[in-house]
Amino acid sequence: MGMQVYQNTHYKVYKSVDGFVIHNIYKGFENGHTHVQKYDTCMVLIKLLVNKKAPRSKSRYFLESLLRLCDDESYRQKIQQILLRVE
């Protein structure tokens, strides 16, 4: 893992060789991180998670990234419902 480039009360963002890694510090790294290519995407994911908002994106990877980072059960269910409609 690379150098840490961002941190708030729940999430850390690291620069990696091929993009960025977001980690929910309240979850183990194995089950609480995701990889994205752009820093802006990191910030959108974190903003959605903090505010518990539904994403505009219907990208399967984006939705699964939210699930991996999420530690709120009601928000998790909301995202899973969106994911079911994408499949």
Gyration radius from the chain CA atoms: 12
What residues does each domain of the chain span?
A: 4-86
For position 86, what pLDDT does the model report? 84
For position 2, what pLDDT does the model report? 85
Question: Cβ distance 50 to 32 under 8 Å?
Answer: no
The pTM assigned to this predicted structure is 0.93
Long-range contacts of 26-30 (CB under 8 A, 24+ apart): 26/71, 27/69, 27/71
Question: Cβ distance 54 to 14 under 8 Å?
Answer: no
Question: What pLDDT, in 10s, does the model give residues 22-70?
Answer: 999 999 999 999 999 999 999 999 999 999 999 988 899 999 999 999 9
Helix, strand or coil, per DSSP, at residue 8:
coil
With residue 63 as reference, give the H or E element that holds it: helix 60-69
The rounded mean pLDDT for the chain is 95
Q: What percent of the chain has pLDDT over 90?
A: 91
